[in-house]
Amino acid sequence: MRDFKINDSVIHFREGLATIFSMKKMNGREYFMLRINKNNGETIYVPKASADSIIRAIMSVEEADELLCYVKTIEKEFNANTKKRRDEYKRKLSSGSVKEIAYLYRQLQHYYQIGGEENDEIKLGPVDFDMLNYAHNMLMDELSFTYNQPRDEIEKFVENRLEEL
């Protein structure tokens, strides 16, 4: 179990970038109190005993560079079965794995651009794009924090970094 502390920035597997701002004991259990960076600073209680399955540490620059090298190896993949495809997206999103999130980011950013209706093989609907955009935003939020780049500039930074690596 990782030793998280107050003021640590972390990734909540469902909500994204968050900060541990306090600890609280309730009913004999210890909880981390997280402030989610989006959603107007919503507070979430995370049981300390199971924190590793709900939150993780933010990537280091070295880990982010390794992840971007991995992203470059991800190939286009398309499952024509809508239910199976969406189930796979949901599984990847809920895993908390930054590699799984990066996989979804790569699919959206480099293979399935919104408005790609002229390509008859790709039949993605609004729900697909919602999930892929969710993955994109989670990854960009974390990379913005990791690389200490403004959020509105991180996408260009990542594209340049992908070319450099």
36-50, pLDDT tens digit by residue? Answer: 987 677 899 999 999
Cβ 31 vs Cβ 23: under 8 Å: yes
The pLDDT value given to residue 37: 87
Element (H, E) at 57: strand 55-57
pTM: 0.84
Q: What is the CA radius of gyration of the chain?
A: 17
Whole-Å CA distances, 47 to 24, 29, 50, 96, 122: 9, 7, 6, 16, 42
Catalogue all structural domains in the chain, each as residue range(s) with its CATH number: 9-57 (2.40.10.170), 61-164 (1.20.58.1290)
pLDDT digits (tens, 9 = 90+) for 48-64: 999 998 999 999 999 99
